[in-house]
Structure 1
């Protein structure tokens, strides 16, 4: 999958993206609510190789996409099937430098549209750490609805955390496009 929005190119990762991606995932604040610790110089190639191999979305393989603005990778989008019929989950991460410029909204809107139209999915969901308020606001900006708040349901980085689930159906996208 590859597509363009007004300011972004969204495409599979390429070898030359390594340094930009490392700059994103080596940042402690960026990784605060993610399920993994910041990348290090020792593990960056191994971690990045996983993004390189996730170049197409299938029932058995996740898709990882680079978000490129002015020749630099400023974030990534991930998509995987959940195991429920025609349902995918999305994840996203952006560099601190790209924050507050509307790139996340633009990229996620484009991805949701591609998934509903080109992949004919029935439902798209996002599960996030409830403390990640910026991520919740992003989901709401793209017309996803908050469907659940689970209390201390996930053990991560040495603590119990709450999770929030946002969801969207194809009808929600059609309503937004009217």
Structure 2
């Protein structure tokens, strides 16, 4: 199984030992506010994040985001569908604002284009999540459009903003 490394992070497969930490940050209301999983997250729902599937396998494949000292600070996922994929990232509240999401997504997208040979990567976000919109823009994703009130999220009709980048744009 692929582990990706950056100067400060390792993106490695999640293990059963990680699940109490994942459950804690995924149930933090500030962390979960714009995320799509049902609340409360349960031990069974996060257990499905543990997988020996390689990055690039069809469907969502999650990786733990750990600091070089080993502390789990979040997770990142790649949902591959043929030559395209969706990315997502979640960080524990104490880990936000340190550039970890940018570093993790940069490593994941670079791997997806360079090693997996994917053509297009996209992210679907709630446009009220302005820090993530800014992050995607800084990474070179373009805002491709917003579907108004397109899905029911925790009892509220919610907009969906789509961001994407092509392999040719990433390597340029």
Q: Determine whether 1:63 maps to 2:61.
A: yes
Q: How do residues 102-141 of structure 1 correspond to structure 2 at under 5 angstroms?
A: 102-141=99-138
For 1:112 and 1:21, locate their aligned partners in 2 and report how far apart those are by CA, in whole Å.
22
Aligned length: 170
For the 8 Å contact 2:126–2:161, the answer to whether it is kept is yes
Q: After the TM superposition, which parts of structure 1 deviate over 6 Å for at least 4 consecutive aligned residues? A: none
Structure 1 residue runs without a partner (length 5+):
none
| Change beyond 3 A, Cα 1:54–1:146 | farther
CA RMSD, aligned part only? 1.5
Q: How do residues 95-174 of structure 1 correspond to structure 2 at under 5 angstroms?
A: 95-174=92-171
Shift, 1:15, TM fit: 1.8
For 1:58 and 1:7, locate their aligned partners in 2 and report how far apart those are by CA, in whole Å.
23
For 1:157 and 1:128, locate their aligned partners in 2 and report how far apart those are by CA, in whole Å.
15
Structure 2 residue runs without a partner (length 5+):
none
For 1:54 and 1:26, locate their aligned partners in 2 and report how far apart those are by CA, in whole Å.
24
Using the size of structure 1 for normalisation, the TM-score is 0.89
Per the alignment, residue 12 of structure 2 pairs with 11
For 1:11 and 1:90, locate their aligned partners in 2 and report how far apart those are by CA, in whole Å.
16
For the 8 Å contact 1:51–1:64, the answer to whether it is kept is yes
